Amino acid sequence: MLLRPPTNQAYQDSPKTHVQATSYSMKADAIDRCHTEKEVSFDIDRSAAVVSNDPAEIYQEYQYLRRKCPLVHTRQYGGYWLLTRYEDVKRAAMDSETYISSVKAVVPSDPRGIRRPPLNFDAPAHTPFRTALERTVKPARLSRLKEPLYRHAEEELAPLLARGRGDISAEFAANFVARMESEWLNLEPDIAPKLAVAAATWLNAWRMQDGDVVTANSMKMYQIARELLADRRLHPRDPEEDPASSLL
């Protein structure tokens, strides 16, 4: 998420819980530096909040940021704004005039520099995509997906539980999200595992900023998408239940 260049003063060390527009013209120190209670310089670019893999360190610094510097800019991963308070995040999500997705919507960004709809588009460009997709995740359909998603969660978590440890992001979350997407898209049983493997590999490669592996697995997913759309053109399904049919 990036800020449009607005005109208001910086939001820093403020007790308020709302996001104010932050000026791009202010000094770098006003954006990138906070000070601890001990008056020791705090460098967000070297902070555990953006560079650490230790949850305890990250949570500790997020607590500090929420108290002292709830909206801060870091140069890490090409530069992005870090919001640490719930109400700020909520208001930013509802303020498409100030906060935009067309420049950076994911941190880190696509290692290939590619922008795709709807995630990397702003309104109104993303509206047709969102409208088509959102009607396939209404409460009634989500209730029907509950049982298979529970099953996938148990299956993906089982290996980690069996050995008593594991990477919850790379080994569980990436695989579970891929399985979830397969259910959402109504993929055939023989196609779902292919998407799950490609999507999980793609996601982990993205995290490591490995452009070659991201591209290779993107091509696999694009091919699955082409075949899915070709089938739905010939055999359309209920657009309330099927994302591809809804998009068409």
Q: What is the mean pLDDT of residues 81-92?
A: 91
Query: How far is CA 102 from its chain centroid?
Result: 14
Q: How far apart are CA 66 and CA 81, in angstroms?
A: 14
Most confident of the ranges 29-38, 60-69, 93-102: 60-69
Whole-angstrom distance, CA of residue 42 vs CA of residue 35: 5
**Structural domain boundaries in the chain:** 2-100, 135-247
Task: Give pLDDT, residue 230.
Answer: 97
> 10 Å Cβ neighbour count for 139?
7
Cα–Cα separations (whole angstroms), residue 120 to 95, 99, 225: 16, 12, 19
Mean pLDDT, residues 63-69 taken together:
92
Q: What is the pLDDT of residues 9-55, one digit of tens each?
A: 333 333 333 333 333 323 333 344 454 443 457 789 999 988 888 88
Residues 216-245, mean pLDDT to the nearest whole number = 95
Q: Are 71 and 11 contacting, i.e. CB atoms less than 8 angstroms apart?
A: yes
pLDDT band at 169 (very low <50, low <70, confident <90, very high): confident
Q: What tens digit of pLDDT does each residue of 104-126 get?
A: 777 777 777 778 788 888 888 88
Whole-number Å distance between alpha carbons of 69 and 29: 12
Looking at residue 40, what is its pLDDT?
55
Q: How confident is the model at residue 79 (pLDDT cuts 50, 70, 90)?
A: confident
Element (H, E) at 2: strand 2-3
Q: Which one, of 46, 242, 29, lies nearest residue 141 by Cα?
A: 242
Rounded to an integer, the average pLDDT of 215-219 is: 92
Query: Given a cut of 70, is residue 217 above it in pLDDT?
Result: yes
